[in-house]
Amino acid sequence: MTTSQESDFEIRIRPNQNWLRVDLRALWEFRDLLALLVRRDFVARYQQTALGPAWAIVQPLVMTLVFTLVFARFAGISTNGLPPVLFYLCGLLAWNYHAQTFQLTAGTFTNNAELFGKVYFPRLVVPFAIVLSNLIAFAIEVAIFFLFWLYFKFFTSAGAQFGTDARIFLVPLLLVQVAAISAGSGLIVASCTAKYRDLRHALPLIVQVWLYLTPVIYPLSKVPARWQWAMVLNPLAPVVEAMRLFLLGRGSVPTGQYVCSIVLTAFLFLAGVMIFQRTERTFIDTV
């Protein structure tokens, strides 16, 4: 006598034919993998380094020192009446998170080609893990910023020049927008890099040019009127200025410019996800 047992369920893996739809259920089912990738990305970044995670402290401090000496002292660029150290530290909060997330997301396909070819999982898990893992370094930089904020506020004469209010609770919304800009633009570059590998060499240049088009080393109010169009086309520009406004109480963010920033952010993120999902279907065949 023989018995046969049929499985109660089966799993079928099919390519996503509709690249306009994001399978949120699949992303949720692979949440454990997402947590592992978040840990992997953060650990791998500082693996085999002498300072380890301390680089998350050293990097913004060194950049702030260089900006203070070169742009504030030597070039005399305005810091909008704020202490230069606070001005640059605040600007670097959004910028460093954006630059790291953008560059790592842009290498999603090329850096994970072997992993993608061996096992199935929703490919969007990888860029989402990058977005989350970079929040750890961002939290460290925020802690550094507030230590300097407390020092200048209560132990120097510059304390009367800046302050904050209830708008500080809107900062997480700005961070969400930065994440959307970084992930969206990074996914677009990643999709293009899958076919045109030359973009890997152009990536550092893109980041460098983007830095100078973003008011990190200068206030948005000092941009000449004839160059304001560049600020409108850069969705990150009003976000960095708004970060200073919310944390330091100094800054000017035109309403129209910020509305354009939100529209461009939504466009970049949606376009990035759609193009990424279309590219992932044939990426392994082109490796």
% helix, strand, coil for the chain, step of 5? 75, 0, 25
Task: Return all residues near 265 (Cβ < 8 A) that are at least 6 apart.
Answer: 177, 180, 181, 184, 235
Q: How many residues appear in the chain? A: 287
- pLDDT of the residue at 10: 60
The tally of CA atoms less than 13 A away on the side-chain side of residue 45 is 18
- pLDDT of the residue at 194: 79
d(CA 204, CA 69): 23
CB 256 within 8 A of CB 229: no
Q: What is the b/e burial string over 234-256, where b = at least 16 CB atoms within 10 angstroms of the residue's CB?
A: bbbbbbbbbbbbbbbebbebeee
Residue 193: name the closest of 256, 281, 286, 267 by CA.
286
- pLDDT of the residue at 15: 55
d(CA 102, CA 182): 5
Residue found under tokens 């633009």:
185
- pLDDT of the residue at 271: 95
- pLDDT of the residue at 1: 46
| Residue ranges of the chain with per-residue pLDDT less than 70 | 1-21, 48-51, 283-287
Helix axes 84-106, 199-212, angle to 10 degrees: 160
Specify the pTM: 0.89
Report DSSP state, residue 158: G
CB 100 within 8 A of CB 137: yes
- pLDDT of the residue at 2: 47
Residue found under tokens 């992930």:
183
